[in-house]
Amino acid sequence: MTSFARFAALLLSLPIWSAGADLAPAADRPPRLVELESPLSQAGPQALQGFLRLPDGPGPSPAVVLLHGCGGAWRGIDERWGKRLAEWGYVTLTIDRFGTRGITNACTGGLPPQTLHDAYRALNFLVEQSLVDPSRVAVVGFSQGAMLALLSVERGQLERSSKEKFSAAVGFYPPCLGLKGNMTVPTLIMVGELDDWTPAKECRNLAEGRDDWGISREQGKGAPIELIVHPGAYHDFDIPEFATPRQFLGHHLEFNQAALDRSIDALRKFLYATIGNKEKQP
């Protein structure tokens, strides 16, 4: 091993909380790139990396895993939401599900099977860190990442396969069709009223206990699902780059400031109620 390689390995072995020595507030600190399996070159194509942000204060703190959509863009998720959550008092880990696997996007082929366990791999990484309270970790996903977040907490083989468990889940505009809705933890879903890619109707069926054809399922099973439908909003309503609407694969994408504001407020209250933090609500 070269001297540089030994030095790099030493840096990777340092505990992540050493970044907390930075006296800058959470809002001003850049994220730290971490490798969930290290080094990536030895872990192979299934290795994961991500951006880690630490809140102010000594911890242990609640934490949030952030999952990007079918187009990747995990850095944007971290910038928009990871930074905000760190300001609220949460450790955040925004993972890159595609990069090391050579996936550019997965918008036409569905959820890549090799990514199914990624939320739990991120959870396993977080609970090993002394600054994280392992009993207070939520998963938050966007579009395809939202579907993965919901699948990860739905009662079934994926949820049962992990020793560690999430305490809450949030899905921004997820594809709700096909989900059974028997959730193991409190769940929040937010979708645009006019979303033509992940229709609100399908998420309403899920939240209200109906199957994909609108027929009532057996009631009283699973944790509650809270649904918020944002009036006048389309897919990707939280992405300012879509202030000028775009068409992608035949679907309408458009930023909506009112929907974003409402979703920020709803997310803050939901996370406070489920995994909590030391910050008082406004």
Model pLDDT, residue 180: 86
Q: Which residues contact 114 (CB under 8 A, 6 or more apart)?
A: 46, 101
What's the one-letter identity of residue 277? N
Question: For residues 40 and 125, which has the higher predicted lDDT (pLDDT)?
Answer: 125
Say what the pLDDT of residue 216 is: 56
Domain residue ranges in the chain: 23-228+261-274
- Between 8-22, 67-81, 187-201, 211-225, the lowest mean confidence (pLDDT) is in 8-22
Residue pair 105/68 in contact (Cβ under 8 Å)? The answer is: no
Confidence of residue 104 (pLDDT cuts 50, 70, 90): confident
CATH of range 23-228+261-274; options 2.40.50.100, 3.40.50.11540, 3.40.50.1820, 3.90.740.10: 3.40.50.1820
CA R_g for the chain? 19
Mean pLDDT, the chain, rounded, equals: 85
Q: Is the pLDDT of residue 28 over 60?
A: yes
Instruction: Examine the pLDDT at 282 and tell me if it is beyond 50.
Output: no
Question: Once rounded to an integer, what is the mean pLDDT over residues 8-16?
Answer: 38
Task: Give residue 1's pLDDT.
Answer: 43
Residue 44 confidence (pLDDT): 54
Yes or no: say if 248 and 108 are a contact pair by the CB < 8 Å rule.
no
Residue 101's pLDDT is what?
Answer: 85
Between CA 256 and CA 231 the distance in angstroms is 10
Instruction: Provide the residue count of the chain.
Output: 282
- pLDDT tens for residues 149-193? 999 999 988 999 899 999 999 999 999 998 988 999 999 999 999
Q: Letter for the amino acid at 60?
A: P
Q: What is the DSSP string of 36-63?
A: SSSSHHHH-TT--EEEEE--SSSS-EEE
Least reliable range by pLDDT among 131-140, 221-230, 273-282? 273-282
The 3-state DSSP class for residue 182 equals coil
Q: What percent of the chain has pLDDT over 90?
A: 62
pTM for the complete prediction? Answer: 0.86
**CA torsion, points 48, 51, 57, 58, in degrees to nearest 10?**
30
Residues pairing with 154 in the sheet? 183
Which one is predicted more confidently, 277 or 189? 189
Which of 96, 94, 9, 99 lies closest to 45 in space, CA to CA?
99
Q: How far is CA 228 from the centre of its chain?
A: 17
Residue 146's contacts (CB-CB under 8 Å, 6 or more residues apart) are 67, 69, 170, 171, 172, 173, 174, 175, 189
Residues with Cβ within 8 Å of 20's Cβ and at least 6 positions away in sequence, in order, are 54, 58, 131
State both tokens at 226: 């809270």
Mean pLDDT of 72-81: 94
Which residues have C-beta within 8 Å of that of residue 52, sequence separation ≥ 6?
Answer: 16, 19, 31, 32, 33, 34, 91, 92, 93
Whether the per-residue pLDDT at 81 is higher than 50: the answer is yes
